[in-house]
Chains A and B, each alone.
Chain A
Amino acid sequence: MITRRNLLLSAAALAALRPLGAGVAWAEGTTLRFGPQLDPGTLDTLTNVYDYPFPPFSTVYEGLTSYMPGSEWKPVNRLAETLELAADGTTISFKLKEGIQFHRGFGELTAEDVKYSFDRATGKVKLYPDAAEGDVSYYGGDFGSYKEVQVTGKYTGVIVFEKPFAPMLRLTLPYATSGLIVSKKAMEALGKEGWLKAPVGTGPYEVVSYTPNKELVMKRFAAYGGAAGQDAKSYPWDEIKVSLVNSSSAPTGAALTAGVESGDFDFTYNISPLDALRLQNNETVKAYVLQQPMSYNFLQLNVLHPKLANPKVREAIRYLVDVPALIQAQDLDVATRLNALIAPQMGVGYWPKAPVYERDVEKAKALLAEAGASALELDLSTPAGGQATAATVMQVIQANLAEGGIKVNVLLTPPDTYIKDKAVGQLSWSNYGGAPDPFYQFEWFTCDQFGQWNWAFACNADYDKLHEELAAERDEAKRTEIAIQMQKLMDASLGYIWVNHQVACAVTAANVEAAFDPNGNPYLQYFKKV
């Protein structure tokens, strides 16, 4: 693993170096074979289902800044040579590194490409020159009150906002796929079909072929201009192959690790914790257990559903759920319990005094009696394609609530619309991926997220107002204050039972050393051969 010291050294090297230009001599040629992963749906930065720097988004594209492998959320410059936030917070001036090339001869990166990429993300220009009606960016929200990019020179520009948007520097530019820069020239030349087959970025690897639900092949970009500077010299892989599957055919358990154990793959991500534990004694492989403090598992209670409308019933459920047992049911003895939405690792927004609700069956029974809720029967479900342990966790919740006299029907295959319908959904076991800014974490629980991600259907005007304030506020102490208030409102709504931060487990062949960002996402180009 990359240590913090290495990380600091490489960051220092990055800051000192000019772009390397083409023709760098590479180490011996090899292929990194990445075992079965869920297909991102598309390689487009704005319509993929990942929305975070997972391969190929972290290998094919680059942004103005990025995070580095390790455990610290400290963005470093990538395509940007300098980046400066104005004192009033409404503009960010940037200067690009010169001489950075796009893949496949689509020319040099300029400020026009930055403008095009951000306009495209926010729907100010069409997603593709020949976009169909449904082709829209999923992630315009990552740009807050973005107004425009004023191009002031070939390599310089100013990102302008209507009002200050603090998450831009922590979230959109270094982390979200929506902040990645695409080639305007390539997009115009290729059109939708050509683009989706092999999109064009400036990253150290370019797409060779993409067969949905089957395979993604990337090769080293020979003319890599070196936004990653000196780092790129040490990338040992000539080719990266990612095996892709769809969620219904995704292997689980030992079937997922078998490829690495047999030598067919060099790396597999999202293996079960039990397998990671088992493989720790296997000398031919290396197992990794990675904390994902930004991602979280929790239970949502639909506060609008007649069966759950009485707060006492929801409170009773909160006392019935055995949170440590739910964590154990995910085989995660290493996971941290979550008491509110924001993790301490976020660095901003953490609520240290968040209440910890211990299990109390008698209290729950009393609350149910006060609410006059007898013979209560509730449905519990989770969206398809969720975590492998979802069925197990839901059975523990079922057993927990049964002790309070609530019968829970576990729906393993609910229709897609089930959870998102406020008149239908009841209890939802939820696993959300997060990002390193509290604004992003809170975004899914606003009133306008009904039917999208707010499955508790708790709508609070104060919360929405605070969310807007959080977007505009740049002072971290004040942001933390706002975030704590928002978490208090969530707690009072009784719509959420927090369980744990996620943990990702991975395995590599013994001669490969993997590298991950602070939320446990793999950075393939930083993988090393040992």
Chain B
Amino acid sequence: MKLEKDKPVERLWNGIYVENPVFCLILGMCPTLATTTSATNAIGMGLSTTAILTASNLMISLLKKVIPDRMRIPSYIVIIASFVTIVEFLMEGFTPEIYAALGIYIPLIVVNCIIMGRAEAYAGKKGPVASIFDGLGMGFGFTLALLLIGSVREIVGAGTWFGFKVTPGIYEPVNLFILAPGAFLVMAFFVAIMNKLKIGAARRTNWDPTENGCTDCSSCAKLGFCSGKAAVTEEAGKKAEEVQG
């Protein structure tokens, strides 16, 4: 499947599958590991992050000409923090149960790397429409990943799904999956499955980095068989040197 760059559908697909923030970019680990103890919490966290991400992406994209380059990080944080505060009050008012369950992790969305990352990598450079869909795609990717991890942990660890009992009475819940080690285990399983899918797909299509416009080889799942990794790595190294110098 070949999609045109920076178009809405491509952005959505990119966020959900190609560059899924949790399973491929391994970003936003703190909420991913901490709030996926149940499917309800995972959905709550995912959707609130999606709302904030989309709104902040739009705002940053609109203001990118006004924000001076050297002051962009503080400006981004002010924008993101404003939206987080709005969402926090809304959740406290309308969904008090989820608000109570997520606790400190709602204000912590301010420092979620996915939001900062998208602002820095995408919204600060591209137009508002593409940025909205980038935010939506990344947000849905995040929500989907959280929902998957949260569902597995809740079903295996507590025998329920969205609070309803789904396992037969004879099933003994494996408590470990609700606790912190379970988060890491389930996460690792999904990353492994995702890598398997992507490596297989890329092998079939003969992945060519120059054609696909890769810029960074770090944490790339296709590194094992990529035809142009040396060129890209060299370029990335030069860039890093420039930044450091």
Please say whether chains A and B are actual partners in one complex. no
Q: Interface residues, chain A, CB within 8 Å of chain B?
A: none
Instruction: Mark B residues whose CB is within 8 Å of A.
Output: none
